[in-house]
Amino acid sequence: MTLDSPSQVSRPSWAEEDRPDPLPLSREFDPPTPYPVEALGPIGTGVVQKMHEIIQAPVALIGQSILAAMNQVAQPHANVIVDGRVSPLSEFFLTLGESGERKSAADGWALAGVRARQRILMQQFVVNRETYEAAAKRILADKKLSGEAKQAKLGELDKPKAPVMPLFIVSEPSTEAIHRQLIVGMPAIGLVNDEGGQFLGGYAMSAEKRLGTLTTLSRLWDRGEFDRVRVGDGSGSYYARRLNLHLMVQPAVASLLLADPLAREQGFLALPGQLPQSTAGQRKYVETDLGRTAEYQAYTARMDALLEQEWPITDNHELDPPNIVLTPSAKRAWVALYNDIEKALGGDGDLAPIRSLASKAPEHITRMAGTFAVFEGDNGNSRRTHRPGGAADAALPGRSHAPVGAGSGIGRTEFGAGGVELVARQDGAGSGDSAG
């Protein structure tokens, strides 16, 4: 048998036709909508705009970093309550950005005050601990004292008052480490990492630990509580703790999490997310010290005031903050938005494909309202008014800034929050509405 050369083999007619290029496996994203900077209040708006001017990272990336920092310092100072349902202010944030988008710079400036406060507390604790241990050694070495007398002397010592480990920020802990820190350390902490892949690809999110980690994070977001069962060092149930989370990751890393059905169903993805428009290639060096600008100094002054304000901690090492409620007009606006979102979750509604994420939207709004109330308030004592759309826009900032997991990884949707006037006040601060 003779084989024809490839050039002699006749081709079928369909192979000769001009055919369109194959469709891509994933669609391009729509042009981004502007990040609602004005929703962050006078201080937040000012510092985001100034950081964007100098650092030149995307506005959405900077806005998310500032919003997460505001939420972290606010979370110990208040809860939000709607019809008897009390929720922590704590939020989980996911910020997406390619390498070189200056995620670390935005995070560093946003949390500089928190890290400085943590360093001061750690230094104070080390001094107090060394003083106590030196005094204890002197008592135990005194041969003139009986055993009972030594114990009595030890009881009279001024033991260090600081927590065992006064950390405000942890970066890639295991579930056990989070438990321990919230038990013996600060009862409100932030899990913050500008290279979030370290956490998502680390021990806590390994195959054997993934479900337990997601469940723990979900319970802490939901109610601020967890159970700890251990052999040797005790077991128990712990309440009134707070965990703020902010992971900054590259889109390829985030897509693995966003497409994970386990993460979605556990509620881990019930968080505001940001996928900003890149500014790479458009940035010229700005010869300005951000730390000396009036906008950044106003921001750090408010952050420092909340960090230095005494936390409402009980003898059981639990937070017992006051509740923030919505005034009647704010409540009506919130209910209308709640009903609109709920309608869009069913059947062929716009939000049906991302039901697990979108169903949390009304609670995000109230938590954001409470965050703004604490951050803008007079040490948590006065009634606070939020601008139209403030909390709603911050919690649901628009289709281009809300990555959602729906099986195919990163997608976008539009919540259509519109303008919502949210007014918050402390319990007992009086009744009635305030003008927005």
Does position 383 have pLDDT exceeding 90, yes or no?
A: no
Number of domains in the chain: 1
Task: State mean pLDDT over 362-379.
Answer: 85
Would residue 310 count as lying in a domain? Answer: yes
Name the residue among 52, 45, 85, 93 with its Cα closest to residue 69. Answer: 93
| Rounded Cα gap, residues 200 and 72, in angstroms | 20
Taking only the tens place, the pLDDT of each residue in 100-130 is 899 999 999 999 999 999 999 888 888 877 8
**Residue type (1 letter), 420:** V
Would residue 387 count as lying in a domain? Answer: no
Would residue 328 count as lying in a domain? Answer: no
Would residue 209 count as lying in a domain? Answer: yes
Give the structural domain span for 83: 37-123+161-279+291-323
Would residue 7 count as lying in a domain? Answer: no
Does position 272 have pLDDT exceeding 50, yes or no?
A: yes
Would residue 60 count as lying in a domain? Answer: yes
User: To 10 degrees, what angle do helices 112-141 and 103-110 make?
Assistant: 60
Most confident of 35-49, 227-241, 263-277, 290-304: 290-304
Name the residue among 312, 244, 301 with its Cα closest to residue 78. Answer: 312
| Three-class secondary structure of residue 394 per DSSP | helix
CATH code of 173's domain: 3.40.50
Q: Kindly report the pTM of this predicted structure.
A: 0.81
Would residue 5 count as lying in a domain? Answer: no
Would residue 242 count as lying in a domain? Answer: yes
Does position 413 have pLDDT exceeding 50, yes or no?
A: no
DSSP letters along 296-357, please? HHHHHHHHHHHHHSPP-B-TTS-B-PPEEEE-HHHHHHHHHHHHHHHHHHSTT-TTGGGHHH
Q: Greatest CA span in the chain, whole angstroms?
A: 112
Q: What is the dihedral of CA 142, 144, 149, 153, to 10 degrees?
A: -40
What pLDDT was estimated at residue 268? 60
Q: What percent of the chain has pLDDT over 90?
A: 38
SS (H, E, C) 179-202: HHHHHHCCCEEEEEECCCHHHHCC
Q: Which of 6-15, 43-52, 261-270, 394-403 has the lowest mean pLDDT?
A: 394-403
Cβ-contact 248, 196 below 8 angstroms: yes
- How many angstroms from the chain centroid is the CA of residue 333? 25
| Rounded Cα gap, residues 118 and 181, in angstroms | 14
